[in-house]
């Protein structure tokens, strides 16, 4: 965080209200996002307790698992989750536009342009907090290696039909969310704290209720007080007034409300199973239904405040105009979505448990490139972000005070005008350092020449002046212009092309093992990374 | 109330904020901080869900079932230590005794015997005494395994999962720090034996595998944690010395009125930071005080790094607005530039281009 | 792993540094030229003759009729290697593969008749040695692989960078200093922690994880660090791969013609001249990074080093050599600190003294260094400031003396530092860690402390 952001935090602390960290919205928001508010059972990896989910603010779907340790109930939950999530995802799959992509020609190996489909829009998943993103990954991991009865008639405890596919999509979304600036899967706390600073620490900003309280505080009221209430206030029974955004629940809720309700449910189920006749069973069925409704109500009571908070967070974000470059980055998300759609359609196996060396390196390269791109684009889109870069000496703004025409040496001299700039900023300029300004959306390069005796900067303009001996009109800054230069590049170069996984060199262990190299005796060849998890008879996920 | 021993929570608080005098004093004196926080009107909020509790116990029981067969198999697979243990053949000595001192003595005897016997031995919930600032602190690891080669291994059994060979790094870190304290305590025991057995500096972490309740394990190198913990423990001030610095009659008796307690607590300086919230029962009380005093650190440790001698929010803002502070101080001038740039940007700002 | 036994004899008096270094180099060259393994790894502590080794290995491979490629990490390193190769053998046909950016290589290369420069690898085919950066090599495609390669500064190279170039060679000599700054990633890479091919790990880590049988050598003698510094740097940063100084205490001396004026800077200079280390300790205070008093103290020390007519006696020359500006460097943790020191030096009329961050001082050597302690005046430590490699670089650039300028209270700061680091399963613990190394250096510096004012 830059000193400018810290100053916003200080201002927030004294005023009691959140202060802007951005003047535009730096993430794309879908017209129809799917909000997902999950809860889990404490101590059980990835065992869902319930969720609110949907695209309609006023009518979320409530899913619960009345006994989280029961495999059948859990499968039923995942099945219903798939019934909601997959149609939403698939509704974006068919609306496509033509696009070009560079691919290696399978015959010649040359890079050629091919005409492909690009989905016109992509599904967007929003969870309350970063732990929600972790949970999406965990759910994805727990489901994608499952086998349905159709895939494998002998599978013990076969998964419901669409569950493995849901696992693959959630895995894809979880993985994409690691790419800086991506927007397929977003956490509301991240979105809000990217755009506002509160008078609390970044650790405390992980609490959605508290964070939103700072941001929503009307003029003249204290967001700080509201945040404190959201964080700590409990009712007479010791329950938090603003339940945590999950997926973990408050222990007091587990112990005082949930555990007894689950116990009642279990008792009702046991009694029903032991029913002597139909009349008794009807009565017991009613009491089981009541027990289930009680758990539904409990889950709803803990998720609904968070559900509402996520939508109010979206309201707050929509008060900011979308930053121009988010369209570019969202296009990257659409490519990502389209790519996975194609892999699923092509019948490729689920994502492996662990990336191979080449995949890992490619992913890291993408993330680093996107991080640099995001940093540059946010600054170009937002004067408040640029202010931070200027303070750090990575950019400078100033008035052009002189322009002297000059030419390069050589047989065909090219225009290389010298531009003098007066700036209050203190850029970290070593000799020969490049600086860039945005000219009609494209970066124009300059090179630092010298400081003038009275402290101005002299820059040499290097490009974007046309082909002639004289620069094209408008391509050279004029005296009196106010211009902002950056020392960072506006566009990112691609890194080296890595070998294909099957050409992994000896330094990295050679090509990854496949079914072909490790034949399993008597079993059908399944790729190593693709085998189902072992399951036991007990109630585990 | 009896003084509390150095439990996992106290160790976590020590790791999160070793420089806090208030924490050092209260933990050193064994004051029950959760009760104290409750009495001060800022309850800690720490609690354990009975679901997690039950699951943890069920998993530990499963790991140690059948005379520790699975646990010893995992120990051998991860760390070696001699021939492969035969199922059910391991020695599991009875460690029950009266009181922590008795149990610690019983544990020491069992360790001595197991080292001499050179067979796979599982010590289930042994009791270890560690000298901390002149007073013994009693520690109870989940298990200690003595291998036929005579080495001792600390075992931590946790119910968070290892998925595809990796686990929540923050939780593994906490387990490593906890294990390091047990290693230190075991080394004190080992030094009293002749020949002194080797205590492994790699602890065995046992967790559920993937999404199952099947155990899996990983050896965790705790040398770093050992070095840090050794130094931290050596710096702990003796309780009597701490008491000597307090006003006569100071008490942290939680039955006293809240105002009196608050005065006693506030007499001991704290260095609150937001990280305390996840580690110390008293954190909400300290946060209230830090916020009321406008301490910069209440907004995050990193925030102070750029601000030099400025320690409060008001000082920093006054400096930023040009109302106070030496303009030649780089922190003050940076704040002023930051304030000017921020104001310019919010007013419409210089766009690029 | 196949570590070569530590070659020091039990009796240090019988230690012959020249002979030990020669023995190590011979073994390395034997494995490189005639060994059965595809890779050879050489750990080289500060000033142990890494560049000399690289040049010699390249020359011997070329002389044996085996053309090779050399991978270095920065353009400056590449140009330096090319110059050294030409210095040793001006007839050797060397190719300098460079980028298509403006000014892609050092103009000094233009004066070397047997060095061909090109941005296209095809123009350099057939040359005995082709040298370039890892980044440039990563873009080279569709060439016949070289039979041999030398990878320089391999510990500062990332695993994914090696992945991009490893297809270009059949076997390689990997040389580097494990104690310097680790490579890092600017994006999330935790999910691969513990994997043998974690792309954000160092190239050597990945190489050895996949090829545990490769011979590992180490250069056992630092010719740069004086006898006063080698044991401390070795203990603090290389506990498992110790090294010795190539010189004895009596071999080096630093003398000043102008006597001390009794000021803090002069006293710390005298202390450092005598003992090799000096700590100029300013009163405890929380300060911003560019602490004006500390910056000024650094500048004053440098000014006095120049004014007092220093002369360095060493095994290199029969007569004392004047301590001139080009033999002095200032090291800092941050760029803005370096800029502030440069400003303060300019105000005192000092030019031509190198002032840079640890990252940029890697691989460089001076007679005297003045270091602004990375933790001076800080209210807290961060992973950046505690990084072992940063302190190691700053404490191991000097041939005669190292003077550290620091606010009091860093020991308490270290003790108060939270120890809540996450632990990734399967990741080899990097040892020593910065916290411990900082304590080790500080406790040594405490013996050479000059409080000021």
Q: Is a pLDDT exceeding 70 seen at residue C385?
A: yes
Residues C183-192: pLDDT tens digits? 999 999 999 9
Domain boundaries, chain A: 3-245+307-380, 393-486
Taking CB atoms and an 8 Å limit, are B159 and A43 in contact across chains?
A: yes
Confidence band for A1, pLDDT divided at 50, 70 and 90 = low
Is residue B55 domain-shared with residue B39, that is, in the same domain? no
* pLDDT, position A534: 67
Average pLDDT of span A202-215: 95
Residue B334 lies in a domain: no
Q: Chains A, C: CB contacts under 8 A, how many?
A: 99
Question: Between B302 and C3, where is the model more confident?
Answer: B302
The predicted pLDDT at position B231 comes to: 82
The answer to whether residue A243 scores a pLDDT higher than 60 is yes
Higher pLDDT, B339 or A45: B339
Q: Give the sign of the dihedral formed by CA B317, CA B320, CA B323, CA B329.
A: positive
| pLDDT at C376 exceeding the cut of 50 | yes
A138-147 residue pLDDT tens: 999 999 998 8
- Residue B248: C-alpha distances to residues B27, B244, B306, C204 (Å): 19, 8, 40, 61
Question: How close, in Å, is residue B210 to chain C by CA atoms?
Answer: 14
Radius of gyration, alpha carbons of chain C: 22
pLDDT band of C9, cuts 50, 70, 90:
very low
> Residue B1: its pLDDT value, please?
40
How far does C107 lie from chain A, in Å, by closest CA?
15
Residues of B in contact with A538 (CB under 8 A): 213
Domain total of chain B: 2
pLDDT reading at A82 higher than 90? yes
CA B16 to chain centre: 8
CA angle A46-A51-A52, nearest 5°?
A: 155
Examine the fold and report which residue of B217, B234, B251 is the final residue of a domain before the chain moves on: B234
Residue A308 has pLDDT above 70, yes or no: yes
Using an 8 Å Cβ cutoff, are A262 and A275 in contact? Answer: no
pLDDT at residue C3 in the model: 40
Mark yes or no for CB contact C210/A365 under 8 Å: no
Q: How much is the pLDDT for C7?
A: 42
CA distances from A84 to A36, A55, A437, C251 (A): 11, 10, 47, 79
**Banded pLDDT at A527 (limits 50, 70, 90):** very low
B23 lies in a domain?
Answer: yes
Q: Which domain holds residue B30?
A: 8-47+238-306
* CB of C125 less than 8 A from some CB of A: no
pLDDT higher for C11 or B234? Answer: B234
Residue A519 has pLDDT above 60, yes or no: no
Asked if B77 and B55 touch (Cβ cutoff 8 Å), the reply is: no
pLDDT at B4: 52
Average pLDDT rounded to a whole number, residues C283-303: 95
> B74 and B109: one domain?
yes
Chain B CB contacts of C424 below 8 Å? 166, 169, 172
> Quick check: A45 and B52 CB within 8 A?
no
Q: Are residues B141 and B188 in the same domain?
A: yes
Contact criterion met (CB < 8 Å) for A391 and B338: yes
- What is the reported pLDDT for B304? 87
Nearest chain A residue to C335, by CA:
A428
Same domain, B187 and B97: yes
Mean local confidence (pLDDT), C224-231: 96
pLDDT band at A514 (very low <50, low <70, confident <90, very high): low
Q: What mean pLDDT do residues A96-112 have?
A: 83
Structural domain includes residue B249: yes
Same domain, B58 and B43: no
Is residue B245 scored above 80 in pLDDT? no
Residues C115-143: what's their mean pLDDT? Answer: 94
Answer yes or no: do B177 and B211 share one domain: yes
Q: Do A508 and C162 touch (CB under 8 A)?
A: yes
Q: Which residue has the higher pLDDT, A276 or B184?
A: B184
Pick the residue with more confidence: B349 or B289? B289
A355 in contact with C, Cβ within 8 Å: yes
- When pLDDT is cut at 50, 70 and 90, the band that residue A528 belongs to is very low
- pLDDT at residue B79 is higher than 50: yes
Residue pair B136/B102 in contact by the 8 Å Cβ criterion: no
B278: closest chain A residue by CA = A203
Cα(A484)–Cα(B341) distance, integer angstroms: 13
Q: What is the mean pLDDT of residues A277-287?
A: 89
User: How would you label B310-332 residue by residue, b for 16+ Cβ within 10 Å and e otherwise?
Assistant: bbbbbbbbbbbeeeebeeebbbb
Instruction: Name subunits touching C (3+ CB pairs < 8 A).
Output: A, B
- Do the bridges between strand A19-20 and strand A196-197 make them parallel or antiparallel, or are there none, so unpaired? antiparallel
B109 falls within a domain: yes
Least confident of B305-319, C59-73, C345-359, C421-435: C421-435
- pLDDT over 90 (residue A106): no
Reported as half-sphere exposure (CB side, CA atoms, 13 A), residue C439 has a value of 14
A455 touches chain C (CB under 8 A): no
> Which run of H or of E encompasses A125?
strand A125-127
> Where does the pLDDT of residue C11 fall: very low under 50, low under 70, confident under 90, or very high at 90 and above?
very low
Q: Is it the case that residue C4 has pLDDT exceeding 60?
A: no
**Per-residue pLDDT, B350:** 55
- The alpha-carbon gap from C154 to the nearest alpha carbon of chain A, in Å, equals 13
pTM of the model: 0.93
pLDDT band at A539 (very low <50, low <70, confident <90, very high): very low
Residue B217 · residue B204 · CB < 8 Å: yes
The whole-chain average pLDDT of chain A stands at 91
pLDDT of B10 reads: 78
Q: Is residue B345 part of a domain?
A: no
Q: At what angle do helices A3-15 and A383-391 cross, to 10 degrees?
A: 120
Query: pLDDT digit string (tens) for A389-412?
Result: 999 999 999 999 999 999 988 888
| Within a domain: B272 | yes
Query: In A, which residues are within 8 Å of B160 by CB distance?
Result: 45
Task: Tell me what pLDDT residue B80 has.
Answer: 92
The arithmetic mean of pLDDT across residues A434-462, rounded, is 94
Highest mean pLDDT among A151-165, A290-304, B208-222, B255-269: A290-304
For the range A462-467, what are the long-range contacts, defined as Cβ-Cβ under 8 Å and sequence gap of 24 or more? A462/A416, A464/A439, A465/A414, A465/A415, A465/A417
pLDDT band at B44 (very low <50, low <70, confident <90, very high): confident
CA distance B346 to chain A (A): 7
Quick one: average pLDDT of C337-360?
A: 95
How remote is the C-alpha of A252 from its chain's centroid?
31
Q: Answer yes or no: do B144 and B230 share one domain.
A: yes
More confident residue, C226 or B8: C226
Chain centre to alpha carbon of residue A341: 18
B303 touches chain A (CB under 8 A): yes
Could A360 and C199 be called an inter-chain contact, meaning their C-beta atoms sit closer than 8 Å?
A: yes
> Omega of the bond prior to A42 within 30 degrees of 0, cis?
no
Neighbours of chain B (3+ CB pairs under 8 A): A, C
> In this predicted structure, what is the pLDDT of residue C210?
94
Q: Which of residues 332-351 of C touch B (CB under 8 A)?
A: 340
Considering the domain architecture, whether residues B105 and B207 belong to the same structural domain is answered as: yes
- C186 and A368 in contact by Cβ < 8 A? yes
Residues of A in contact with C39 (CB under 8 A): 507
**Which CATH number is B80's domain given?**
3.90.320
Residues B154 and B275 in one domain: no
Q: Which of B191, B216, B234 is the last residue of a domain?
A: B234
Residue C2 predicted with pLDDT over 60: no
Does B170 contact C285 at a Cβ distance shorter than 8 Å? no
Same domain, B221 and B160: yes
- Per-residue pLDDT, C239: 84
Q: Is C421 on the interface with A (CB under 8 A)?
A: no
B187 and B245 part of one domain: no
* B212 is a domain residue: yes
Same domain, B127 and B223: yes
Q: Which of B234, B256, B283 is the last residue of a domain?
A: B234
**Which of the other chains make 3 or more beta carbon contacts under 8 angstroms with chain A?**
B, C
Give yes or no for residue C433 having a pLDDT over 90.
no
Give residues with Cβ within 8 angstroms of B331, minimum separation 6.
B306, B307, B308, B309, B310, B319, B325, C287, C288
Q: Which pLDDT score is estimated for C5? A: 39
Fold of A393-486: Elongation Factor Tu (Ef-tu); domain 3 (2.40.30)
More confident residue, B10 or A433: A433
Chain B CB contacts of A43 below 8 Å = 49, 51-56, 159
Distances in whole angstroms, Cα of residue A308 to Cα of each of A233, A311, A439, C424? 18, 5, 43, 36
Q: Where are the beta strands (DSSP E) in chain B?
A: 121-124, 128-132, 135-139, 143-146, 152-157, 202-208, 215-221
In a domain, B201, yes or no: yes
């Amino acid at each position: 965080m830059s000193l400018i952001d810290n100053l916003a935090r200080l201002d927030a602390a004294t005023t009691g209200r959140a202060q802007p960290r951005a003047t535009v919205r730096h993430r794309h928001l879908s017209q129809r996002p799917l909000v997902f508010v999950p809860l889990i059972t404490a101590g059980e990896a990835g065992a869902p307790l319930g969720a609110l989910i949907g695209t309609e603010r006023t009518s979320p779907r409530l899913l619960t698992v009345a006994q989280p340790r029961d495999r059948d109930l859990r499968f039923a939950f995942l099945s219903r989750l798939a019934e909601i999530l997959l149609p939403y995802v698939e509704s974006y799959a068919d609306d496509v536009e033509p696009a070009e992509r560079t691919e290696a020609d399978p015959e010649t190996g040359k890079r050629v342009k091919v005409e492909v489909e690009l989905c016109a829009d992509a599904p967007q998943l929003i969870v309350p907090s970063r732990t929600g993103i972790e949970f999406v990954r965990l759910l994805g991991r727990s489901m994608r290696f499952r086998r349905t009865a159709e895939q494998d008639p002998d599978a013990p405890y076969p998964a419901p039909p669409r569950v493995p596919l849901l696992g693959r999509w959630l895995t894809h979304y979880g993985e994409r969310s690691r790419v800086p600036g991506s927007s397929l899967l977003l956490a509301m706390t991240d979105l809000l704290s990217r755009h506002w600073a509160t008078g609390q620490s970044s650790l405390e900003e992980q609490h959605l209720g508290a964070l939103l309280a700072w941001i929503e505080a009307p003029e003249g009221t204290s967001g700080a007080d509201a945040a404190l209430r959201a964080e700590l206030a409990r009712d007479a029974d010791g329950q938090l007034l603003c339940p945590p955004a999950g997926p973990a629940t408050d222990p007091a809720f587990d112990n005082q409300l949930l555990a007894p309700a689950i116990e009642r449910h279990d008792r009702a189920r046991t009694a029903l199973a032991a029913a002597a006749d139909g009349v008794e069973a009807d009565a017991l069925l009613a009491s089981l239904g009541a027990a289930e409704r009680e758990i539904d109500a409990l889950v709803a009571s803990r998720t609904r405040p968070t559900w509402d908070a996520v939508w109010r967070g979206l309201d707050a974000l929509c008060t900011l105009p979308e930053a121009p470059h988010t369209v570019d980055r969202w296009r990257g998300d659409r490519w990502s979505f389209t790519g996975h759609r194609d892999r699923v359609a092509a019948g490729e196996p689920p994502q492996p448990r662990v990336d191979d060396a080449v995949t890992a390196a490619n992913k890291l390269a993408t993330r680093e490139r996107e991080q640099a791109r995001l940093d540059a684009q946010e600054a170009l889109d937002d004067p408040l972000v640029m202010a931070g870069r200027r303070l750090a000496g990575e950019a400078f703004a100033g008035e052009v005070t002189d322009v002297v025409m000059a030419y390069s040496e050589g047989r065909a001299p090219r225009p290389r005008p010298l531009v003098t700039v007066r700036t209050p900023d203190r850029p970290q300029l070593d000799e020969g350092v490049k600086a860039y300004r945005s000219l009609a959306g494209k970066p124009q390069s300059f090179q630092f020449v010298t400081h003038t005796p009275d402290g101005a900067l002299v820059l040499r303009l290097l490009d974007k002046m046309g082909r002639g001996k004289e620069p094209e009109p408008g391509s050279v800054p004029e005296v009196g212009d106010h211009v902002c230069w950056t020392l960072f590049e506006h566009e990112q170069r691609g890194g080296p092309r890595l070998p294909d996984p099957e050409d992994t060199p000896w330094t990295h262990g050679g090509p990854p093992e496949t079914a072909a190299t490790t034949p399993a005796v008597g079993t059908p060849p399944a790729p190593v990374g693709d085998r189902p998890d072992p399951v036991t008879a007990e109630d585990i996920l | 109330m009896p003084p509390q021993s150095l439990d996992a929570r106290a160790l976590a608080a020590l790791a999160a904020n070793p420089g806090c005098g208030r924490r050092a004093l209260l933990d050193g004196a064994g004051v029950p901080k959760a009760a104290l926080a409750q009495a001060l009107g800022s309850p800690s909020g720490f609690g354990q869900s009975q679901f997690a509790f039950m699951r943890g116990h069920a998993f530990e029981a499963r790991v140690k079932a059948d005379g520790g067969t699975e646990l010893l198999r995992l120990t051998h697979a991860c760390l070696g230590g001699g021939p492969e243990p035969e199922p059910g053949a391991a020695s599991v000595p009875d460690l029950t005794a009266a009181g922590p001192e008795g149990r610690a003595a019983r544990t020491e005897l069992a360790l001595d015997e197991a080292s001499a016997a050179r067979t796979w031995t599982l010590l289930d919930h042994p009791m270890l005494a560690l000298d901390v600032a002149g007073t013994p602190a009693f520690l109870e690891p989940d298990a200690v395994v003595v291998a036929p080669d005579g080495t001792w291994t600390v075992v931590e059994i946790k119910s968070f999962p290892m998925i595809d060979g990796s686990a929540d790094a923050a939780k593994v870190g906490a387990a490593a720090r906890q294990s390091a304290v047990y290693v230190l305590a075991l080394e004190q025991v080992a030094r009293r034996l002749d020949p002194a057995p080797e205590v492994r500096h790699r602890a065995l972490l046992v967790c559920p595998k993937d999404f199952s309740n099947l155990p899996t394990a990983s050896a965790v190198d705790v040398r770093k944690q050992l070095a840090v913990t050794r130094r931290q423990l050596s710096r702990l001030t003796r309780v009597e010395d701490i008491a000597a610095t307090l006003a006569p009659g100071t008490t942290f008796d939680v039955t006293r009125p809240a105002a009196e307690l608050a005065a006693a607590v506030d007499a001991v300086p704290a260095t609150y930071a937001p990280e305390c919230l996840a580690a110390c029962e008293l954190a909400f009380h300290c946060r209230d005080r830090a916020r009321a005093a406008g301490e910069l650190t209440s907004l995050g440790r990193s925030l102070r790094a750029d601000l030099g001698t400025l320690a409060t929010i008001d000082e920093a803002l006054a400096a930023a607005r040009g109302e106070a502070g030496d303009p030649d101080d780089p922190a003050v001038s940076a704040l002023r530039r930051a304030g000017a740039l921020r104001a310019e940007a919010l007013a419409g700002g210089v766009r690029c281009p | 792993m196949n570590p070569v036994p530590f070659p020091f004899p039990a009796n240090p008096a019988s230690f012959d540094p020249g002979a030990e270094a020669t023995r190590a180099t011979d073994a390395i060259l034997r494995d490189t030229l005639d060994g059965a393994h595809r890779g050879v790894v050489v750990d080289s502590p500060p000033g142990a003759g890494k560049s000399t080794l690289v040049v010699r290995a390249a020359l011997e491979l070329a002389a044996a009729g085996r053309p090779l490629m050399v991978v270095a990490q920065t353009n400056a390193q590449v140009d330096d290697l090319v110059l050294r190769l030409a210095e040793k053998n001006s007839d050797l046909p060397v190719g300098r593969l460079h980028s298509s950016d403006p000014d892609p290589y050092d103009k000094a290369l233009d004066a070397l008749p047997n060095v061909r420069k090109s941005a296209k690898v095809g123009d350099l085919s057939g040359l005995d040695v082709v040298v370039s950066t890892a980044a440039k090599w990563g873009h080279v495609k569709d060439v016949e692989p070289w039979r041999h390669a030398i990878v320089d500064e391999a510990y500062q190279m990332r695993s994914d960078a090696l992945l991009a170039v490893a297809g270009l060679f059949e076997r390689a000599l990997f040389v580097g200093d494990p104690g310097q700054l680790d490579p890092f990633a600017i994006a999330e890479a935790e999910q691969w922690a513990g994997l043998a091919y974690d792309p954000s790990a160092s190239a050597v880590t990945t190489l050895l994880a996949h090829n545990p049988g490769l011979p590992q050598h180490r250069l056992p003698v630092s010719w740069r660090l004086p006898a006063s510094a080698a044991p401390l740097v070795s203990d603090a940063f290389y506990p498992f791969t110790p090294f010795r100084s190539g010189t004895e205490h009596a071999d080096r001396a630093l003398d000043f013609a102008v006597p001390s004026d009794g000021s803090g800077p002069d006293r710390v200079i005298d202390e450092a001249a005598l003992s090799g280390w000096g700590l100029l300790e300013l009163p405890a205070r929380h300060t911003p990074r560019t602490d004006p008093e500390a910056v000024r103290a650094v500048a004053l020390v440098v000014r006095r080093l120049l004014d007092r007519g220093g002369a360095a006696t060493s095994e290199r020359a029969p007569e004392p050599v004047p301590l001139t500006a080009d033999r002095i460097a200032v090291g800092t943790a941050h760029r803005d600190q370096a800029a502030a020191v440069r400003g303060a030096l300019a105000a005192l009329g000092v030019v031509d003294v190198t002032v840079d961050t640890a990252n940029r001082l890697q691989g460089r050597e001076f007679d005297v260094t003045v270091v602004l302690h990375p933790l001076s005046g800080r209210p807290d430590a961060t992973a950046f400031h505690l990084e072992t490699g940063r302190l190691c670089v700053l404490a191991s650039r000097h041939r005669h003396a190292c003077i550290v300028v620091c606010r009091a209270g860093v020991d308490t700061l270290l003790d108060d530092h939270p120890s809540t680091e996450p632990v990734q399963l399967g990741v080899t613990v990097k040892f020593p860690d910065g916290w411990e190394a900082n304590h080790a250096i500080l406790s040594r510096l405490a013996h050479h402390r000059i409080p000021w004012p």
